[in-house]
Structure 1
Amino acid sequence: MRRAIALAARGLGGTSPNPVVGCVILDPSGEVAGVGFHAYAGGPHAEVVALREAGGRARGGTAYVTLEPCNHTGRTGPCSAALLEAGVARVVVAVSDPNPKAAGGAAVLRRHGVVVDEGVLAAEAEEVNAAWLTYVRAGRPYVTWKFAATVDGRSAAEDGTSQWITSPEARADVHRLRAESDAVVAGIGTVLADDPRLTVRLTAGVPAPPRAAPVLRVVVDSGARTPAAARVLDGEAPTLVAVAEDAAVPAHLSPHAVRLPRVPGGIDLHALLAELHDRQVVSVLIEGGPALAGAFLREGLVDRVVGYLAPALLGAGAAALGPAGVSTITEIHRLEFAEVTPVGPDLKLVLRPKSPVFPNPVSSKSSGPQSPKES
C-alpha cells in the first residue's frame, strides 16, 4: 500500500478535478505483477493501468488501491468491473470513496465474491489525496498558504524590497507547489507592489504535470484596481479577478472579473472558494500577501501552511502574516509540523491545523460535487 500511495503522488497536479490514485497488483504467489497511477483527468484509472501491466497474472491475485475502486461510468468505465473481469480475488483499499456518485465499488466486489479489506494505511492515503478529499467533503478547494520569510518572520524590508529573501532552490520548489495547484491566489496589494506573473516556471528537467488547463491566476481585488499593464493580465495563463459586487469595473478587467459579496475588509472568501469550486478548482495556493493570508486564516480556510525560512534577520519590515483574528494567546492558531526539510540553504516547513474541520460536509444523501471521481 505504501508503494501504491507513492504512485498516487505522481499524479499530483495532473488529475483535477479527479483524485490521485495508485494501484499495485500482486499475482497469486505475492509477486508484484503490475503497478499504475491515474495521471490525468479522462485518462485510464490506476487500476486499469496496473491490470494492463499484470495481464493474466492478475487472476487470483490481490489489488492494493489507495481509493475505493469506482463504481461509476464517466469518460472511462468503472474500476470495479475491470477488477472483476480480470479475476482478482482480493482487493485492499486504503480510503473509501466519499463521493456518492462514484462510491459503491467495494460493495459490488463483495457481492461477486471478492474479498475486500478497507482502511489499510488510511491516514497516509488521505494525506496524499487531501486536496480532493477536502474538495468533496467540504465543498470547497483545499487551501495552502505559502510564505517566504527570514527566521524572524519578515517577508520584506522596511523599504518594501523583498526579492530575494530565499534561495533559488526554494523558489524552484515554490514553482513545483504551483504546478501541483489548480489556482494561485494573490491580493491586490501584492499585484500593485510586485507585479507578479503568478505562472508556473519549472526548472529544466522537471516535467510539468499533464493538466488539462494552465494553473488559474486569481487576484483578490475588491476595488477593481488591477492595472491594465499588470503581468497577471498578460494572457500567458487564465486570470480571474475577484471584485466586490458594487465595484466599478474598468473595461480591461471586464473579461476577467467575477463579482462577489463585499464583507468588512474586502471580498467574502467563502464566496470566492465557492466560485472556484464551481469552476472545478480542487486546490488553491495563497501566494500573497500578508493581509490576504491573515484573512483566510481568520475565516478558518487554511488547510496547510508551507513556509520557506531563510537563515537571515531583518529586525524590521513587513511581517509574513497580517492580522489573523488573534487578540490574546488563548486564541492562537495552533498547528503541527508535518515536514521539516532543508531546501538549499533555507528550511522548508509544512504545517497543518491541529484539528482540521470540513465545514458543510457533503452528505451521503446529496448529489455531491459536480465532478465525481474520474468523471
Structure 2
Amino acid sequence: MKKQEQQDRDYMAAALSLARRGLGRVAPNPAVGCIIVDSQGHVAGRGWTQPGGRPHAETIALNQAGDRARGGCAYVTLEPCAHHGQTPPCVESLISSGIKRVVVATTDPDRRVNGKGLDILRQAGIEVQSGVLKEAADEVNAGFFLKVQQNRPLVTAKIASTLDGKIALANGKSQWITGAESRARGHALRAVHDAILTGIGTVLADDPALTCRLPGLEERSPIRVVLDRELRLPAECQLAQTAAEIPTWVMTACEEREKKQKLADLGIEVINVAVGGDGKLFLPEVMKSLAQRGITRLLTEGGGKLNASLIRSSLLDRLVWFRASSLIGEDGVSAVGLLGLEKLEHMPRFTKIFDGVAGADCWEEYRITY
C-alpha cells in the first residue's frame, strides 16, 4: 500500500472515531467526524457533529485549524453538505479556508447533497478523493441513510437470555438473567441510540426505567417509546413518573380523550398509529412516524412477541444478544416468539459482526439478512 493511501486510511479511521462520539445525540442529522491536516502534515483541527446536529464537524475542525487549513487536507467521514439550512453549506467553508485536498469516506444520499458537495469542491479546484473506508462510514450512518432512503430508523434489538434462549421464567420473573457487566453494556447501547422501544407487556411486567445509568452518561438517556394499543400505561410506572425529565412517547390506536389527557398531563406525548391485520399496531407505520420525528437509530428492548413482529415485518437490522451461562428449560419465556415458518429456507439468517465476553456472560452482535 502506498504511503499516501495508508495515511488517508489512518486519518479517516481517526475521523470515524470522532464521528461515533455523536451517535445517539445528533438526530435527525448524521454523525460526522472531520480532521484537518496542515501542509506540514500535522493535525491542525478536529471536530464531530455536536448534540442536535449543530455545529457540523467541518465547522468545528476548520475553526480550530484557522489559517493552518490553507494548503492542507480535510478528512471528512460524510460528504460535506451543499445546501443552505440553519448554517451555510460546509463546502463553502472548506473552499474559503484554502483547503487544497478533501478526502471523503462516503457520499450523502440526501437529495440536496448526493454528490453535489463533491462536485462543488472539484469545481473550486480542490482535489477530492472519495470512498476511503466507505464500508465503515456507511455503518456509522446506517440509521441516517435508512431514514433518508426508506423513511425509517435503523432498528437494533437487544436480548438478554439464557443459553437456551429464555428471557424469563414461566411466572414472568426475569431480573436478573445476565450479570452486571452485560447490563452495563446494555446501558452503553442506550447511550448511542436516539430512542428505545418496548411494548406495554414489558412495562407492565418489569416497570423498566429505560434510561442510561452509566456514571457520566446519564444525560445520554434516549427517548423512551412504548407500543400501547389500548393506553394501559400506568400513571405510577417509572416511565410515566419521569416523563417530565426524559422524553417519553406512547404509540397507540386508542382514541379515548380521557386516557390521552391523563398521560399528556404527565408529560407523555401520545401518538396515534394504525392497527395492522393482526390487530396489533402496524410496525411499518410506527417506524415511519418515528423517522418523521427525527429518529435515526432505534434500540428495542421488548419481549419475544415484539422481537418476532420486527423480524416478520423485515424491520430488524441488528441484533445484540447477551447470553448467561444458565438454562431455564422448555417452560421459560422465549426470546423470539412465533415466526410461522413452514420451510427451513425461510429462516431469517444472521451474520455475526462482533462478539465478546461480559463478566460470566458472552455477547454477539449480528446483522440480519432477509
Residue type of the alignment partner of 1:231: Q
Show the 5 A alignment for 1:351-370.
Answer: 351-354=366-369
1:252 alignment counterpart: 262
Instruction: Provide runs of 4+ in structure 1 moved above 6 Å.
Output: 246-249
Residue type of the alignment partner of 2:301: E
2:110 alignment counterpart: 99
Q: Is 1:233 paired with 2:237? A: no
Q: Is 1:177 paired with 2:189? A: yes
2:225 alignment counterpart: 218
2:180 alignment counterpart: 168
Secondary structure of 1:124's partner?
Answer: helix
Secondary structure of 2:146's partner?
Answer: helix
Q: Is 1:300 paired with 2:309? A: no
Q: Deviation of residue 207 (structure 1)? A: 6.7
1:282 alignment counterpart: 296
Residue type of the alignment partner of 2:283: L
Q: Deviation of residue 178 (structure 1)? A: 1.3
* TM-score normalised over the length of structure 2: 0.89
Secondary structure of 2:204's partner?
Answer: helix
* TM-score normalised over the length of structure 1: 0.88
Q: Deviation of residue 227 (structure 1)? A: 2.3
- CA separation of 1:7 and 1:207: change in aligned 2, threshold 3 A: farther
Q: Is 1:59 paired with 2:59? A: no
Alignment equivalent of 2:32, drawn from 9, 15, 21: 21
Secondary structure of 1:306's partner?
Answer: strand
Secondary structure of 2:187's partner?
Answer: helix
Instruction: Choose 335-344 or 98-107, whichever is displaced more.
Output: 98-107
Secondary structure of 2:51's partner?
Answer: coil
Secondary structure of 2:301's partner?
Answer: strand
- CA separation of 1:94 and 1:325: change in aligned 2, threshold 3 A: farther
Q: 1: CA distance between counterparts of 2:228 and 2:198?
A: 9
Q: Report if aligned partners of 1:13, 1:179 keep a CA contact under 8 Å in 2.
A: yes
Secondary structure of 1:266's partner?
Answer: coil
- CA separation of 1:226 and 1:57: change in aligned 2, threshold 3 A: same
1:347 alignment counterpart: 362
Q: 2: CA distance between counterparts of 1:181 and 1:115?
A: 35
CA offsets 1:107-131 (integer angstroms, 9 cap, x no match) = 1111110111111111011111111
- Give the structure, 1 or 2, with the largest relative contact order (CA under 8 Å, sep 6 or more): 1
- What fraction of aligned residue pairs are identical, expressed as a percent? 43
Secondary structure of 1:41's partner?
Answer: helix
Q: Deviation of residue 197 (structure 1)? A: 1.8
Secondary structure of 2:95's partner?
Answer: helix
Q: Deviation of residue 42 (structure 1)? A: 4.6
Q: Deviation of residue 208 (structure 1)? A: 4.1
Show the 5 A alignment for 1:64-75.
Answer: 64-75=75-86
Greater helix content: 2
- CA separation of 1:125 and 1:345: change in aligned 2, threshold 3 A: same
Q: Report if aligned partners of 1:27, 1:61 keep a CA contact under 8 Å in 2.
A: yes
Alignment equivalent of 1:80, drawn from 91, 100, 106: 91
Q: Is 1:146 paired with 2:158? A: yes
Q: Which runs of 5+ in 1 are unaligned?
A: 356-375
CA offsets 1:70-124 (integer angstroms, 9 cap, x no match) = 1122222211111111111111111111112244211111111011111111101
Secondary structure of 1:88's partner?
Answer: coil
Q: Deviation of residue 237 (structure 1)? A: 2.0
2:14 alignment counterpart: 3
- CA separation of 1:161 and 1:286: change in aligned 2, threshold 3 A: same
Q: Is 1:198 paired with 2:204? A: no
Q: Report if aligned partners of 1:42, 1:76 keep a CA contact under 8 Å in 2.
A: no
Secondary structure of 1:288's partner?
Answer: coil
1:361 alignment counterpart: none
Q: Is 1:119 paired with 2:134? A: no
Q: Deviation of residue 206 (structure 1)? A: 4.3
Residue type of the alignment partner of 2:304: P
